[in-house]
Amino acid sequence: KTRIFDEVYTSDCALKEYAKIMALPPEPGCDLERGIFPMMLASDATHPTMFGQAKVWPGYMSHGGISKYHRCKRDSRLMEHIAYFPTLPDDVQDILKARLSRKACDEAITHCKRELMHASWKLIIDDLFLEDWRHGIVVEFPDGVRRRLYPRIFTYTADYPEKVLLATLRNNGACPCPRCLVDKSDIHRMGMLSDQRCRTLYQRRDNQERRTRVKKARDLIYGRMRRLVGSSKVEDIMKQRSEVPTENAFSLKLSEFGFDYFDMLVSDFLHEWELGEWKTLFVHIMRIL
């Protein structure tokens, strides 16, 4: 027999998560069949019109338990809008200047953008969502059978600027990868054995050490010392790993369940290849011709 890897529900991650769910104690008085509700999230800020400055930032969710051959068809309408993320107003500098009597630095504006994004996710991952994560949701399927599904976040698709925003990392920092701690000076080794070892040995992890660093930095900013976001005291804690002093919503809400948000940040084929390296290569070939 040959195992085929072609869907979310046939992946190692799905099988391991299913085994964890089956190992959970049953809900009192419930003998329903249990399963996973694999959530595939995505977001992409965009302009809704060809002209003007109007902006929208939609968030999407699709069901990883549905085959990709149906899920990825536009006519299937299987990508659900779950949110529209707010953005800082265009006059944010004027608002801050009125309160502070001076313009805010670029680091402060960027920090506000991160805080706003994760404040939005803290609202989405509310107490009701956490209750469903713990105890599951009873759903009646088209075959008439009721089953208890446990929602689990499997993937989050986003372009690089949004990916580092979600990972609470600085954009294009010294360690630019949202999955590992590879240094920017070593990126040219991509594909080599040494690069693979680095990515394996130095994976980013949402552990207590990371959360402690963030708390120390936030205490410097919001505590008695009132340090600036880009001050040397804050940078000494955050800069080495390209981290930022923003409390990650996924870590805050889901770390108690063993969820590591770094694992959900998958490669984005559209932005990283089709609109990235392939587009660059195609333009280069056309210029040669």
Query: Does residue 131 carry a pLDDT above 80?
Result: yes
User: Per mean pLDDT, which range of 52-61, 136-145, 268-277 is the poorest?
Assistant: 268-277
- Going by pLDDT thresholds of 50, 70 and 90, the confidence category of residue 183 is very high
pLDDT above 80 for 273: no
The span from the CA of 10 to the CA of 36, in Å, is 12
Among 38-42, 187-191, 255-259, which is the least confidently predicted range? 187-191
pTM above 0.85, yes or no: yes
Query: By C-alpha distance, which of 276, 280, 44, 40 is closest to 159?
Result: 44
Mean pLDDT (whole number) for 39-50: 88
- The continuous run of DSSP H or E covering 160 comes out as helix 160-166
Least confident of 91-95, 127-131, 139-143, 182-186: 91-95
* 1 pLDDT higher than 80: no
pLDDT, mean of residues 214-234 = 94
C-alpha span between 157 and 271 (Å, rounded): 10
Above 80 in pLDDT, residue 53?
no
- Whole-number pLDDT of residue 2: 81
> What pLDDT is attached to residue 98?
85
CA dihedral (282, 55, 229, 123) positive or negative: negative
Residue 191's pLDDT is what? 83
Closest CA relative to residue 175, chosen from 262, 269, 109, 247: 262
pLDDT attached to residue 92? 87
Write down the domain spans for the chain: 8-168+248-288
